[in-house]
Structure 1
Amino acid sequence: MLSPHRFAAFLHRQCHQRGSLHTTPLLQSPRQAPNKAHKWGNYERLSPASLFPTPVRDRPRLAVSSAIPLPSYAAQGFSSEWGPAIPHHTQSDLVSLRASAQLAKKILTMGGQLCKEGVTTNDIDRILHAAILAEGAYPSPLNYMGFPKSICTSINNVIAHGIPDDRPLENGDIINIDVTVYLDGYHGDTSATFYVGQVDDKGRALVECTQEALTKAINICGPNVPLNEIGRVISDHASANGYSVSDELSGHGIGKEFHCLPLIYHHVNDEDDRMTPGMVFTIEPVLSQGSSMGLMWPDEWTIATIDGGRSAQFEHMVAITEDGAEVLTK
């Protein structure tokens, strides 16, 4: 899961990040798109269902057993507590981080298998919620700054933070499922974009390029590598294939906190920190067919592309080691 937009905006202000998110009036209901043919392919553009949705903090939530340990923010709906420095993890920490990362991978794989025509994103959320609890873990997004669901589901032109609802998946959709779990005091975070039925060639090309960009970024990670190399590599690959990269959302450090330093920018940037052994962070590029500018829906969570182009995302957790990098969610 990427940081919620209010949280990301705060981070961007702290780091002098350019750009801002945008709000939009109601354009149409999600089911009022009879013409699915666009210059970027054949797909349904989603838009908000209501100008005045029920506030997320007031929406019903799936129950969590009192036996499941909660992260510090979960009871009151706060955000992570950010320290002033980048955490460096011990070998003992890494054992626990591997376990949480592998559980996140397992749950994400399960989610991908559910991405079939007619299945709703609420169905997926409910099934994955139960699967996470069955492992003795907590679904990290649940009540993070009031988020009402256990996963994020972002379809077609939705960039990030899509809230599961009763919209059935349709043939030709692409959907990103973002899973984070809290297991034994550590968070594991991963996401992927899946196909629903027969996706057109332009949609498949976008998804494949996004996955390639993540792989290329991971391949350059290691001790003393500048963090800004991640953004350069991703941007080079995206632009070479005709796609834009979101500069409004970022990867992040992760461990005992859901989000922490360092911020990982996926666009060209001048951040001067370098990777050092013990760092653990997510790389989660968002590539778009047209503009990567984000447009925020009235639910104050969902972020869609401003021009309706499709967006894809993949995410892995990476630990920097003495001689390279380990992908914890692989």
Structure 2
Amino acid sequence: MGFRDRGIEIKTPEQIDLMRVAGRLVGETLELLRAAVRPGVTTLELDTLAETNIRDHGGIPSFKGYSHPPFPATICASVNHEVVHGIPGGRVLADGDVISIDCGAIVEGWHGDAAITVPVGEIADDVRELLRVTEESLWRGMAAARLGGRVCDISHAIESHVRSEGRYGILEDYTGHGIGTEMHMAPNVPNVGRRGRGPSIVEGLALAVEPMVTLGSKHTDLLEDEWTVATVDGSYAAHFEHTFTVTPVGTWVLTAVDGGEQRLAALGVPFGGR
């Protein structure tokens, strides 16, 4: 492992393999939570399910106790107009809601970080389209990454896809990030940007890419709990995230259960997993 470009952590292939263990645990936990989302379930019940699964498989929740004030839970559970960092509690999910679930785990000192937005029962057509556009922009962003390219190639691909699909708000104050021995590391990965800018994409760089998109304004407020970020105009939001790397063979999505092979193939991107 080495450091370059203002503290960017570069991992060995063996260390990337360890990150895959943490990433797969995150991916499997999110799939467990996706299946558990339904009208009548509370966000705290989802949090308990996530913590149990992570610990039962040898992991440590990344988020619990993180930063100041210390985050009190294993997952971020953000409902409807809450974009990110919602705190799980007694809120009961209802038909027509959407919930963004962000999850992180540490295994043997290495982090994985990913997020999904899940419909609760039947949701409005424009909200369902928001989820589709946001998730697709994540995959388009990762698909744009190449060894020798630049981090903002990812940003440009995310922004271009979202803009091409309609009038959506793209959060600019919150970004993706480097990841490895810490959850949040250099470099930042913006969700808007111009191609050819930012640090170089090199073998051993791991990034968490996370577009956050709204049905209305890009502007947000931080709520009184000092964690939850919500849209100013009350519009619904979606958040999708994966941790990935680029190997000499291709792209490897460390937090996707299948490594991202199926979605990458659909975009014509070589699979770089082992």
Could you say which TM-score interval applies, normalised by the shorter chain? Answer: 0.7 to 0.9
> Residue 199 of structure 2: SS of its match in structure 1?
coil
| CA deviation after TM superposition for structure 1 residue 114, in Å | 1.2
Structure 1 residues 63-95: Cα deviation after superposition (integer angstroms, max 9, x where no partner): xxxxxxxxxxxxxxxxxxxx9411111011011
**% same residue:** 32
Q: Which residue pairs with 1:52 in the alignment?
A: none
Q: Which residue pairs with 1:215 in the alignment?
A: 139
Q: Which residue pairs with 1:304 in the alignment?
A: 230
TM-score normalized by structure 1?
A: 0.73
Q: Does 1:95 align with 2:95?
A: no
Match of 1:315 among 222, 241, 245: 241
Q: Which residue pairs with 2:54 in the alignment?
A: 132
In 2, the alpha carbon distance for the partners of 1:221 and 1:232 equals: 11
Q: Which residue pairs with 2:168 in the alignment?
A: 243
Greater Rg by CA:
1
| CA deviation after TM superposition for structure 1 residue 272, in Å | 2.8
Contact 1:174 1:193 in 2 (8 A): yes
| CA deviation after TM superposition for structure 1 residue 269, in Å | 5.2
Match of 1:252 among 143, 167, 177: 177
In 2, the alpha carbon distance for the partners of 1:125 and 1:323 equals: 36
- Structure with bigger strand share is 2
Q: Which residue pairs with 2:83 in the alignment?
A: 159
Please list, as runs of the form range in 1=range in 2, the aligned pairs for 1:167-246 lying within 5 A after superposition: 167-241=91-165, 242-246=167-171
Q: Does 1:294 align with 2:220?
A: yes
Contact 1:178 1:190 in 2 (8 A): yes
> Residue 169 of structure 1: SS of its match in structure 2?
coil
Contact 1:222 1:323 in 2 (8 A): no
| CA deviation after TM superposition for structure 1 residue 324, in Å | 3.0
> Residue 230 of structure 2: SS of its match in structure 1?
strand
Structure 1 residues 31-50: Cα deviation after superposition (integer angstroms, max 9, x where no partner): xxxxxxxxxxxxxxxxxxxx
Q: Which residue pairs with 1:40 in the alignment?
A: none
Contact 1:142 1:150 in 2 (8 A): yes
| CA deviation after TM superposition for structure 1 residue 108, in Å | 0.6
State the AA in 1 paired with 2:141.
Answer: A
Q: Which residue pairs with 1:264 in the alignment?
A: 189
| CA deviation after TM superposition for structure 1 residue 266, in Å | 0.6
Contact 1:176 1:194 in 2 (8 A): yes
The RMSD of aligned alpha carbons is 1.3
Q: Which residue pairs with 1:78 in the alignment?
A: none
Contact 1:278 1:320 in 2 (8 A): yes
Structure 1 residues 228-274: Cα deviation after superposition (integer angstroms, max 9, x where no partner): 11111111111222212100101111111111111100112584312
Gaps of 5+ in 2: 257-274
Structure 1 residues 96-129: Cα deviation after superposition (integer angstroms, max 9, x where no partner): 0010000000101111111110000001111111
Contact 1:221 1:324 in 2 (8 A): no
| CA deviation after TM superposition for structure 1 residue 184, in Å | 1.1
Gaps of 5+ in 1: 1-82
In 1, the alpha carbon distance for the partners of 2:231 and 2:32 equals: 27
Match of 2:207 among 281, 291, 312: 281
Please list, as runs of the form range in 1=range in 2, the aligned pairs for 1:23-38 lying within 5 A after superposition: none
State the AA in 2 paired with 1:204.
Answer: R
Contact 1:222 1:275 in 2 (8 A): yes
In 1, the alpha carbon distance for the partners of 2:236 and 2:46 equals: 21
> Residue 87 of structure 1: SS of its match in structure 2?
strand
Q: Which residue pairs with 1:57 in the alignment?
A: none
In 1, the alpha carbon distance for the partners of 2:140 and 2:205 equals: 19
Contact 1:193 1:207 in 2 (8 A): yes
